[in-house]
Amino acid sequence: MTEVVPFLWVADLERSLRFYVAGLGATVDREWIVDGRMRWCRLGLGGAALMLQERGPGHVLTAPPGSGTSLNFSCGDALALYDAALTAGLEPVREPQVGNGLWELGYADPDGYRINFASPTDLPEELLVSAYRVREPAAGQKTPAG
């Protein structure tokens, strides 16, 4: 085996692509087109991958979409991803915070799947990004004392 690639059934592939590609910065690496419309795709996001396929009219779900499913991605800078996604109009399910030595960032995709990102940090546990950004000056800025 060389990799595990999660596969998610989605209700509306175009809506999901707006979330993953426009919102999170993923790229469409492969696609399956039927009658001029994309029905399946493989997305890349850094070194990770994800497959999406639109449910057809006969596809019956036995549980609510996204029920009990979360995908957790390790990344180099969860806060940079948060800033880019925020600029693209995506809001996380809660404010990013530090947990277990990681910046934790989570979204719910259009079908209810939980999509989480984490990157290492040595900051104190439960520190919220809003409190961190008040404490830390932006690059090139001086602190009130400096």
pLDDT digits (tens, 9 = 90+) for 79-89: 999 999 999 99
143: pLDDT strictly greater than 90: no
Q: Assess if residue 143 is contained within a domain.
A: no
- Asked, for residue 146, whether it belongs to a domain, the answer is no
**Does 140 score more than 70 pLDDT?**
no
Residue 12 lies in a domain: yes
CATH number at residue 48: 3.10.180.10
Tokens of 62: 């036995």
- Label residues 74-104 b or e (16+ Cβ within 10 Å = b): ebeebbebbeebeeeebebeeebbbeeebbb
Domain around 127: 7-56+68-135
Residue 135 has pLDDT above 90, yes or no: no
Q: How many CA atoms lie within 13 A of 1 on its CB side?
A: 3
Tens digits of per-residue pLDDT, 93-115? Answer: 999 999 999 999 999 999 999 99
Number of domains in the chain: 1
pLDDT at position 125 is: 97
Q: Is residue 94 assigned to a domain?
A: yes
The structure's pTM equals: 0.84
Backbone angles phi, psi at 83, to 5 degrees: -60, -45
Residue 122 covered by a domain? yes
- Long-range own/partner contacts, residues 22-30 (CB < 8 A, 24 or more apart): 22/88, 23/85, 23/88, 23/89, 23/90, 24/81, 24/84, 24/85, 24/88, 24/90, 24/107, 24/115, 25/81, 25/84, 25/85, 26/50
The verdict on residue 107 lying in a domain is yes
